[in-house]
Chains A and B, each alone.
Chain A
Amino acid sequence: MKLYCLSGHPTLPCNVLKFKSTTIMLDCGLDMTSTLNFLPLPLVQSPRLSNLPGWSLKDGNAFLDKELKECSGHVFVDSVPEFCLPETELIDLSTVDVILISNYHCMMALPYITEHTGFTGTVYATEPTVQIGRLLMEELVNFIERVPKAQSASLWKNKDIQRLLPSPLKDAVEVSTWRRCYTMQEVNSALSKIQLVGYSQKIELFGAVQVTPLSSGYALGSSNWIIQSHYEKVSYVSGSSLLTTHPQPMDQASLKNSDVLILTGLTQIPTANPDGMVGEFCSNLALTVRNGGNVLVPCYPSGVIYDLLECLYQYIDSAGLSSIPFYFISPVANSSLEFSQIFAEWLCHNKQTKVYLPEPPFPHAELIQTNKLKHYPSIHGDFSNDFRQPCVVFTGHPSLRFGDVVHFMELWGKSSLNTVIFTEPDFSYLEALAPYQPLAMKCIYCPIDTRLNFIQVSKLLKEVQPLHVVCPEQYTQPPPAQSHRMDLMVDCQPPAMSYRRAEVLALPFKRRYEKIEIMPELADSLVPMEIKPGISLATVSAVLHTKDNKHVLQPPPRPAQPTGGKKRKRASDDIPDCKVLKPLLSGSIPVDQFVQTLEKHGFSDIKVEDTAKGHIVLLQEAETLIQIEEDSTHIICDDDEVLRVRLRDLVLKFLQKF
């Protein structure tokens, strides 16, 4: 069993598991942090961005000034943003049989894999994952395609040139594999390969293994996966949460008794408690708006935003903010808000019961009804008519490199009354803000990451007790900035095996058993014999039939009927006749009694030697040696067949036959 690790990002995993005869890809996350190296794509012409000076080498050589621009001491690539794909060279991706998706954030690289690698398999995911995943992809494509950029910089990627660039460009990895965003056509084609599954549904893969999604409690439709055969069980835990937010709670019990537990997608901010962060978010929002400032919340169109809106629903009246408009701007804003209300069976119990009342499960429906929350596909159109300040705007993309957020950063960045509050943990907020410097607006970092923290992981592992844990190397040591925090790492016994990008891991267990079915008529013919209390044995003569990874013992073909000679040969006649087998022997030989028996039968001068595996009985006179071991007995004598047979019969007296 092997694990191929194609992504270095612990929360955007992409691993391939080879298990029995199947090749299973676990998630295909897209690392978008690469976009932080690019200049933002403004929706409206930005004089500031277009007038940024080109970057030149120390010696004044300015051949890169078209591709690289400098802003407040940082250098950015002036080109269409590109993404860092999962490793494609480590394993032939056309051999991947299935892809299992655990949540909508972990499928963003799907079009790259399904459309460009010769992939012919099936993708499995839950319905909300697919629908919201589609929204995220649609938003991404829309953000990038609606601001066409003529230029595509590639010179800087030249290894010799890259070395000369300042950090972080100099240290960017695998830049040659960075790719532009996919198209909507590719998205549609990729999504058409997905087969929908429900929690606890058992899916047979070629009869060899069975995969089952389990609720992971992190997002709508998010799942952990169980991959098991009859005797082995691998659990894939990716992006799980034990907090009570909107999704169905995590199913922990089904993870028990795993041989291997692959653990990914833990919280990216282990030191921040989501509750505290929500409090921080609300307080800062209220303070800013009270002072007449605007609040910008860069976010994804689905996920934490639902919880934030719910918190605000409860908070705004108490904080005296009910007249403040809340805007949600995204090409998919409408669909996201509506989808969230229809996936009732994927929601937590509280929200499910609301549906039966019937009430919308999320209170943002009421915010929309009362006009407190308004949503728009983009800043163009209706929004510009309705826009009122001070206000709160939720919009993407959290990287601040594309999407409507770029416009608001340019618009509000100059006033210290305004605040940008970062709630998504995927991007470093300082890096995200770099191309907007100098910035007067206040920046608040309240990352809300509801995924498991290390304390929860340690409780989880204690409860489900896997034999082995495999996780990204980042989880096996404290974060570099807090090297003393021994509590911020996975702590388990035996220690977790770690992996990093482009590494192949042999998983530490061997398959020992295979299940074989026995046909009823064959079973009927068996005559078990009790050889020990509670243990019966029977000999079986059968044909082992193997098809689709299933093994069946079938009755042997009947001995061929005496043929009249004219009949045509049947296929079965090719099967050789089963020989009449000698009886099988069982039992052990008590050496002392055996020696006595030998003596009774006239052998003398018998010596017994103990060996590591049993005994050797020496018949010195007859120059014969009987070697008795646990599972074999040898009679070694020189060409004296009569003696051998005599001795053999004496040995057989002590054994049972069947």
Chain B
Amino acid sequence: MDPECARLLPALCAVLADPRQPVADDTCLEKLLDWFKAVTEAGSSLLLLQENPCLVELLFHVLKPQDLSSRILSFALRLAGTFAAQENCFQYLQQGELLPGLFGEQGPLGAAAWAAPTVRSGWIQGLRSLAQHPSALLFLADSGAVDTIFSLQGDPSLFVASAAGQLLVHVLDLAMRSPAEGCGPAEGHGRPQARDWPACARRIVCHLEDCLCSEATPRVTQALHVLTTAFGHCHGLWTQGLWVQLSPLVARLLEKDPVPAPHALVELLLSVARSSVPSSDPGLWETAAQTLSCLSPMQAGPLAAGILKLQDCPQTLRTHAFGVLLRPLACVLEAAAQAPGIPGLLEGAAGDPMAVDMLPPSKSACVGLLCSTLAHLELLQPLPQRPSPWPQAPLLAAAVTILRFCNGSAAPSSEVGGRLCAMLVGCVRVQRAALDFLGVLSQGLGPRELVTQVFAVLLEYLVSPDSSPTVLKKAFQATLRWLLSSAVPPGCCDLEPRAQLVLGELLAVLQKRLCSPCWEVRDSGLEFLTQMTRRWGGQAGFRQALLASEVPKLTSQLLQDPESYVRASAVAAAGQLSSRGLLAAPSSPEYPAGPQKTPLEELLLVLTTDSEGFPRRAAMRVFTEWLRDGHVATAEDRERFVARVLQAASGDLDWEVRVQGLELALVFLQQLLGARGPGEAPPGALAQALRALCRVQLFEFAFRSLFDCDRPVAQKSCDLLLFLRAKAAPSGSLQEAGDSPDVAPVEAALRRWRAGEQGQPLGELAPEAVLAVLRSMDLEALRDTLAESSDHVERSPQSLLQDMLATVGVLGDNEADCY
């Protein structure tokens, strides 16, 4: 601990112990604890306490009956726990009877303060920190704390209850790993037997057994949670013994009707399955299979999905789990009386007979089941361990069918189908889930007629005026994925004839969507257009269809959209269209004969005049891309282009625009001097490049940015100048050419900028002067300073202590004012 902090500490402890001076900010106490934790981790706690007796005094002070705030009490409990984590310090505190006072029955446990959840939580966390050594175990046993922890598991505060469960696991783990009385460590060679477990562990296990046998579901849930944490976090061999001991009780839960705490049970089984238990006890798989059969589809879904994600598990169980997961979709297909020819989802997947009416009767339950099923399958699809064979075709059919149910275009003849239709029609949640899933399925192939159906249903959604903006966005995304996947051969830029057909209809829809009164719709339409153009902008069929439509014209018009997000997307789309030579000159009925602007002028206008940041940022990204790709607008007069853009960007109020400006400058630099990598530029090229950089006033922008009040701008500029310096090399070839350059005006300007006088212009710059300044600057040091987070000064413990004291000082002033 640095001396300054040690000096401040007594005053702070006095403040904390004074009930008349409440600490206003909880986060201060948290930060203080973090700091103590760091200090104790770095050194001896005992020494810390001995050197700073005020700390122990504070802890003793807390013990006195008084009106201390619950926050301070909680803080003291946690602080004591932190100190007592080291065994010698624990002993030290024990000598003073401090620990029993804080954590025993004579402490807050029996006092009125116990009613505050924060005190109970502090008590648990204190013990959690403390329980690190065998002495702590003894202390826990003697003080009766374990019983208190048991009762806190049912605490009305969820935070307290959950922390109590975790503490129990921690204590159990500690006990199992500690040398038990006379038996040696439980963690020995091979799996220890239950009778060899230490007394404390036996007590906890006994408690868990009681809970598992209890008729009260909350108690069962508590036990299951504790076990889930134990198997998830503890990796000792003892966990195997624990499972052997408790698995019959867990299995017995399945015999009850209804099964108590199904979600917690599923979590436990998955936690055990992921632990080292299955290697020693294959009985687990049987329990899992039994659970899959016992639980309702909604409850079993997460278990099935979890099993399928396991790396190593018996094939029969995987098949069973996949069957359970697929069942709701199979029911949907059945209910829709899907045309024959598409194999049923469950054929060969699971042998159990399927009841179509297994779908829940209530709308919310049915919607929840379908959404979670689709989400599970969506996560499963890209995994290497996903079930094989993957029923791509039936899954596609199911997704399409669900979407048809949701938009009312399915015409099921069965009664279940009618019921399902009534439940799903217009349901945005299911629509979104199904569209996401459909998009993911584009990774695989499908039978031709099914893919046709996929495009048909996607078009239905895109066309339908009833599609909500979020659904529409998902429909656009899914369509794009399917278009990408239907390129032949995969990866090629050509569209398949079928996709080409779809494209015509898509552009008609897009045209209408770009005129939508809802800005979200216009926005997602433009994003879709940008991505399509990026992918197929060079393809003749696409170009032809696009140019025949109104879309390019509408895109130009949307540059004036009242919504800034839409303008930003329009800028991106226009940029992309323009780089492919697809952007029409804008003409609206407003200004039918107005002067036609080039795309460059249009976007420059956005950059210089738009009142919102998003469109300006988008314009900068487009310009950078144009420069990188050699867009025709930049190729004609690259220097002039860069100069105009940099001029606009350098004065922008939005730091992201300025960062983008520096990015563009970097691209320009790279184009002049060669891309990144070692090696300096040849002197001739360098001189030429430097002159060009001076002409576009890149240096003024870059130097100014070094002192930008927004750190990312300064960092970017620093990187840029470092790159340039590396390229210019220490050879100093330019310097040799003439006299030493006059760097004084530049340095003077830099000093003023650093001081915050940004108004000062730099004036004309000579390349030589730039190089000289660059070499004289300690850019590396600047980079390191910038790399520190901006609050590194304010975050020091000293400043924390000062802040806390200052707050109290202010309070004192107020008090004086009152009288």
Residues of A within 8 A of B (CB): 271-273, 276-280, 282-284, 286-287, 289-292, 311, 314-315, 317-324, 390, 446, 455, 482, 484-487
Residues of A within 8 A of B517 (CB): 278-279, 282-283, 311, 314-315, 318-319
A273: nearest residue on chain B (CB-CB)? B466
- Pairwise interchain contact B589-A323, C-beta atoms closer than 8 A: yes
A446 to B516 Cα, complex, angstroms = 14
Interface-lining segment among B221-229, B415-423, B696-704, B751-759: B415-423
Is residue B411 contacting chain A, with contact meaning CB distance below 8 A? yes
Q: Which of A287, A319, A486 contacts B512 (CB 8 A)?
A: A287
- Pairwise interchain contact A486-B408, C-beta atoms closer than 8 A: no
Residues of B within 8 A of A482 (CB): 408, 411
Residues of A within 8 A of B423 (CB): 487
How many chain B residues touch A (CB < 8 A): the figure is 36
20 residue pairs from A and B, CB less than 8 Å apart: A272-B465, A273-B465, A273-B466, A279-B516, A279-B521, A284-B512, A290-B515, A290-B554, A290-B557, A291-B550, A292-B589, A315-B517, A318-B517, A318-B562, A484-B410, A484-B413, A484-B417, A484-B418, A485-B421, A485-B425
A454: nearest residue on chain B (CB-CB)? B422
Beyond contacts A279-B516, A318-B517, A486-B418: 18 other A-B pairs, Cβ-Cβ < 8 A, are A276-B466, A280-B512, A282-B516, A282-B517, A283-B513, A290-B553, A290-B554, A290-B557, A320-B588, A320-B590, A321-B590, A323-B589, A323-B590, A324-B589, A446-B465, A484-B413, A485-B421, A487-B425
Residues of B within 8 A of A290 (CB): 515, 550, 553-554, 557, 588-589
- Pairwise interchain contact B422-A276, C-beta atoms closer than 8 A: no
Is residue B70 contacting chain A, with contact meaning CB distance below 8 A? no
Residues of A within 8 A of B557 (CB): 290, 320
- Pairwise interchain contact A486-B515, C-beta atoms closer than 8 A: no
Decide yes or no: A484 and B421 within 8 Å by CB, A279-B465, A319-B515 being known contacts. yes
Separation in Å of the B466 CB from the closest CB of chain A? 4
Q: Which of A271, A283, A291, A324 contacts B516 (CB 8 A)?
A: A283
Is residue B467 contacting chain A, with contact meaning CB distance below 8 A? yes
A315 to B516 Cα, complex, angstroms = 9
Residues of B within 8 A of A279 (CB): 465, 516-518, 521
Q: Which of A276, A314, A319, A322 contacts B467 (CB 8 A)?
A: A276
Interface residues of B in 389-418 (CB under 8 A from A): 408, 410-413, 417-418
B511: nearest residue on chain A (CB-CB)? A287
A488 to B589 Cα, complex, angstroms = 42
Residues of B within 8 A of A485 (CB): 408, 418, 421-422, 425
Q: Which of B464, B467, B512 contacts A283 (CB 8 A)?
A: B512
B419: nearest residue on chain A (CB-CB)? A486
Is residue B652 contacting chain A, with contact meaning CB distance below 8 A? no
A487 to B521 Cα, complex, angstroms = 28
B463: nearest residue on chain A (CB-CB)? A280
- Pairwise interchain contact A487-B589, C-beta atoms closer than 8 A: no
Decide yes or no: A282 and B466 within 8 Å by CB, A320-B557, A487-B421 being known contacts. no
Decide yes or no: A486 and B422 within 8 Å by CB, A276-B465, A289-B589 being known contacts. yes
Decide yes or no: A321 and B589 within 8 Å by CB, A484-B411, A486-B421, A487-B422 being known contacts. yes
Is residue B560 contacting chain A, with contact meaning CB distance below 8 A? yes
- Pairwise interchain contact B550-A484, C-beta atoms closer than 8 A: no
B419-449: CB near A (< 8 Å → 1, else 0) gives 1011101100000000000000000000000
Identify which of B410, B511, B518 gathers the most chain A CB atoms within 10 Å of its CB.
B518
Is residue B18 contacting chain A, with contact meaning CB distance below 8 A? no
Interface residues of B in 313-353 (CB under 8 A from A): none
Residues of A within 8 A of B412 (CB): 484
Is residue B561 contacting chain A, with contact meaning CB distance below 8 A? yes
B587: nearest residue on chain A (CB-CB)? A290
Identify which of B413, B421, B513, B521 gathers the most chain A CB atoms within 10 Å of its CB.
B421
A484 to B518 Cα, complex, angstroms = 32
Separation in Å of the B526 CB from the closest CB of chain A? 14
Residues of B within 8 A of A272 (CB): 465-466
A311 to B521 Cα, complex, angstroms = 16
- Pairwise interchain contact B408-A271, C-beta atoms closer than 8 A: yes
Residues of B within 8 A of A455 (CB): 426
- Pairwise interchain contact A280-B562, C-beta atoms closer than 8 A: no
A322 to B560 Cα, complex, angstroms = 13
Separation in Å of the B555 CB from the closest CB of chain A? 12
Question: How many pairs of residues, A versus B, come closer than 8 Å at their CB atoms?
Answer: 91
Residues of A within 8 A of B467 (CB): 276
Separation in Å of the A42 CB from the closest CB of chain B? 30
The 8 closest A-B pairs by CB, nearest first: A276-B465, A487-B422, A283-B515, A280-B465, A286-B515, A282-B517, A276-B466, A486-B418
Residues of A within 8 A of B516 (CB): 279, 282-283
Residues of A within 8 A of B417 (CB): 484
Residues of B within 8 A of A286 (CB): 515
Residues of B within 8 A of A315 (CB): 517
A324 to B590 Cα, complex, angstroms = 8
A390: nearest residue on chain B (CB-CB)? B589
Interface residues of B in 90-136 (CB under 8 A from A): none
A455 to B425 Cα, complex, angstroms = 11
A167 to B216 Cα, complex, angstroms = 72
A487 to B405 Cα, complex, angstroms = 12
Separation in Å of the B573 CB from the closest CB of chain A? 17
Residues of B within 8 A of A320 (CB): 557, 560, 588-590
A284 to B509 Cα, complex, angstroms = 11
- Pairwise interchain contact A317-B589, C-beta atoms closer than 8 A: no
B512: nearest residue on chain A (CB-CB)? A283
- Pairwise interchain contact A276-B590, C-beta atoms closer than 8 A: no
Separation in Å of the B610 CB from the closest CB of chain A? 15
A501 to B518 Cα, complex, angstroms = 42
B586: nearest residue on chain A (CB-CB)? A320
A260 to B553 Cα, complex, angstroms = 58
Separation in Å of the B338 CB from the closest CB of chain A? 15
Separation in Å of the A392 CB from the closest CB of chain B? 11
Residues of A within 8 A of B588 (CB): 290, 320
B556-591: CB near A (< 8 Å → 1, else 0) gives 010011110000000000000000000000001110
B425: nearest residue on chain A (CB-CB)? A487
Separation in Å of the B468 CB from the closest CB of chain A? 8
Q: Which of B411, B422, B561, B590 contacts A322 (CB 8 A)?
A: B590
Residues of B within 8 A of A317 (CB): 562
Residues of A within 8 A of B411 (CB): 482, 484
B508: nearest residue on chain A (CB-CB)? A287
Separation in Å of the B337 CB from the closest CB of chain A? 11
Identify which of B412, B422, B515, B521 gathers the most chain A CB atoms within 10 Å of its CB.
B515
A287 to B588 Cα, complex, angstroms = 11
Residues of A within 8 A of B425 (CB): 485, 487
Residues of A within 8 A of B418 (CB): 484-486
A311: nearest residue on chain B (CB-CB)? B517
Separation in Å of the B375 CB from the closest CB of chain A? 25
Separation in Å of the A51 CB from the closest CB of chain B? 36
A280: nearest residue on chain B (CB-CB)? B465
A322 to B557 Cα, complex, angstroms = 13
A291 to B550 Cα, complex, angstroms = 9
A487 to B412 Cα, complex, angstroms = 13
A278 to B426 Cα, complex, angstroms = 17
A183 to B557 Cα, complex, angstroms = 51
Residues of A within 8 A of B561 (CB): 318
A322: nearest residue on chain B (CB-CB)? B590
Separation in Å of the B408 CB from the closest CB of chain A? 6
Separation in Å of the A318 CB from the closest CB of chain B? 4
Identify which of A272, A283, A390 gathers the most chain B CB atoms within 10 Å of its CB.
A283
- Pairwise interchain contact B464-A276, C-beta atoms closer than 8 A: yes
Residues of A within 8 A of B562 (CB): 317-318
Residues of B within 8 A of A289 (CB): 589
Separation in Å of the B598 CB from the closest CB of chain A? 20
Identify which of A284, A286, A311, A321 gathers the most chain B CB atoms within 10 Å of its CB.
A286
Residues of B within 8 A of A280 (CB): 465, 512
Residues of A within 8 A of B513 (CB): 283
A485 to B412 Cα, complex, angstroms = 9
